[in-house]
Amino acid sequence: MVNRTDVAIIVGSGSDLPVVNETVKTLKKFELSHSLNIASAHRTSQYLKKCIQDAESSGVKVFIAAAGMAAALPGVIASETVLPVIGVPVDGRNLSSFDSLFSIVQMPKGVPVATVAVGSAGAVNAAILAVQIIAVGDESLKEKLKAYRTKIAEAVVKEDLKLQKSGIEKYVERLSK
C-alpha cells in the first residue's frame, strides 16, 4: 500500500532547509502529510524527475519548491507536472534575492508557478496556499483555515491592546528585548 502525500516539498540544496522548515511546521499544524527532497534543477535533473514522479504516484496534490540564485527549480517542476506548483524564493546574498524572486515569478505563458514572498514569510505562505488549494475539496480543512485566520486576527488585536496600554515607547522597548 502506498502512503498518500498531500504536499511534495522540493528544495534545490540543503541550505534551503532552514527556510522550508517553516513550511513543514505549518503543514503539520493543518495535519497535512508531506514529502521532502533535495534535488537540483541543474545538477540532478533526472533525480528531480524521479522525485516528481514518486510524489505524483503517492497522490500529491500540490508541489512547493524552494530555491535561491537562478531558482529554476519551481519552473522545472511545473514543466514536468500539471499539478499546482508554489515557488518560494530563498534569501540570497549576491543579488539581495531579486534573482530568485524574478526567476520564479517570470514564468512563460502556459507554465505557471504561484510565487510567494522571499524567505520564511514565503515559506509559511506557501504552506497556507497549499492548504487553501487542498481545502477547495475538503470542508474540514476549510474550517481549520477559518480557525487559523481567526487566531492570527486575534493576535493582531491583542498586540494593538498592548500598544494602547503601554504607548509606543514602551512597546518598542519591549520588542528590542
Q: What is the pLDDT of residues 82-110, one digit of tens each?
A: 999 999 999 876 666 888 888 899 999 99
Same domain, 94 and 34: yes
Instruction: Calculate helix-pair angle for 120-135, 139-175, nearest 10 degrees.
Output: 160
**Total number of domains in the chain:** 2
Q: 69 with 100, same domain? A: yes
Q: Is residue 1 part of a domain?
A: no
Are 76 and 147 contained in the same domain? no
Distance, first Cα to last Cα, the chain: 51
Same domain, 22 and 107: yes
Do both 90 and 162 map to the same domain?
no
Domain span at residue 177?
139-177
Q: Are residues 145 and 89 in the same domain?
A: no
Same domain, 93 and 175: no
The pLDDT of residue 161: 96
User: Is position 86 within any domain?
Assistant: yes
pLDDT at res. 48: 98
pTM of structure: 0.91
User: Is the pLDDT reported for residue 1 higher than 50?
Assistant: no
Model pLDDT, residue 95: 67
118 and 55, same structural domain? yes
Predicted confidence (pLDDT) per residue in 146-162, tens digit: 999 999 999 999 999 99
pLDDT value of position 166: 94
Per-residue pLDDT band for 177 (boundaries 50, 70, 90) equals confident
pLDDT of 47 over the 60 cut: yes
Distance CA 48, CA 33 (A): 20
CA gap 128, 21 in Å, rounded:
14
Residue 54 has pLDDT above 60, yes or no: yes
Q: Do residue 11 and residue 77 come from a single domain?
A: yes
pLDDT at 58: 96
CATH number at residue 99: 3.40.50.1970
Residue 121 neighbours by CB distance under 10 Å = 13
96: left (phi over 0), alpha (psi -120 to 50) or beta: left
Residues 70 and 147 reside in one and the same domain: no
Give the confidence band of 129 by pLDDT, cuts at 50, 70, 90.
very high
Strands, E assignment, 12-154 = 34-38, 62-67, 85-89, 114-115
Domain identity same for 122 and 167: no
